[in-house]
Chains A and B, each alone.
Chain A
Amino acid sequence: DAGVTQSPTHLIKTRGQHVTLRCSPISGHKSVSWYQQVLGQGPQFIFQYYEKEERGRGNFPDRFSARQFPNYSSELNVNALLLGDSALYLCASLWGREGGYTFGSGTRLTVV
């Protein structure tokens, strides 16, 4: 079975632009979470979606938005990019009742 897949792996954008990151959870998993990891820090929670509905949101500005599609894949959108948005963006799939997560390899976003 494929794990959590994210695309693209790397991305370079200019300040003020918009970016869309994509994630496919493990087949059959209905929950997707997004995290931002700035260099040297631990990941920070952005969103959690379950069955296409937003179930949780971290402390991020409204420039960040997400959605989940009927096939449970998800997109993370960031508008009006700032230099500080440069980070590794991680998508995670929640498994079972244990609450453990499987993470994708991430999208490294560089804003210049």
Chain B
Amino acid sequence: SQQGEEDPQALSIQEGENATMNCSYKTSINNLQWYRQNSGRGLVHLILIRSNEREKHSGRLRVTLDTSKKSSSLLITASRAADTASYFCATDSGGGADGLTFGKGTHLIIQP
């Protein structure tokens, strides 16, 4: 079963604008990860944030985590056409026995 939901399901913005995607989850976690998927192929790991962290940056990416609300957000600044993809959040409850639990994803389209 899916752990939670990404919001919105689809997002279309102009190149150069910022894109924000949200993720909610249901159970306690060890860490939360964001992945990108192009055209239904393999997933690319973007960033991991631990449960005791509140914010993390990597290049044009900024991730926040609010464990009290069981939610996370991914901000992509100064978007580019190459950022067009589906973005998934995935939670790791620790121990490896349950693997990663993914949401349904946000499909991001960057208009040139």
Contact = CB atoms under 8 A, between A and B. Distances in A.
A50 B96 CA distance: 10
Interface string A82-112: 0000001010101000111111111010000
Contact of A55 (B2, B43, B97): B97
A42 B99 CA distance: 13
A44 B102 CA distance: 7
B31 A99 contact: yes
A105 B99 contact: no
B68 interface: no
B97 A99 contact: no
Interface string B38-76: 001111110010000000000000000000000000000
Which bracket fits the contact residues of A? 20 to 34
Interface string A27-53: 000010101010111111110101000
| Residue among B30, B40, B41, B100 with max Cβ neighbours from chain A (10 Å) | B100
Nearest to B45: A100
A48 B96 contact: yes
A48 B42 contact: no
| Residue among A42, A46, A104, A105 with max Cβ neighbours from chain B (10 Å) | A42
Interface of B: 1-2, 30-31, 33, 35, 40-45, 48, 88, 90, 92, 95-105
Given A45-B99, A58-B98, A104-B42, 20 more contacts: A31-B96, A35-B99, A35-B100, A41-B2, A41-B105, A43-B43, A43-B88, A43-B102, A55-B96, A90-B42, A90-B43, A92-B43, A98-B48, A99-B33, A99-B48, A100-B48, A101-B100, A102-B45, A103-B35, A103-B45
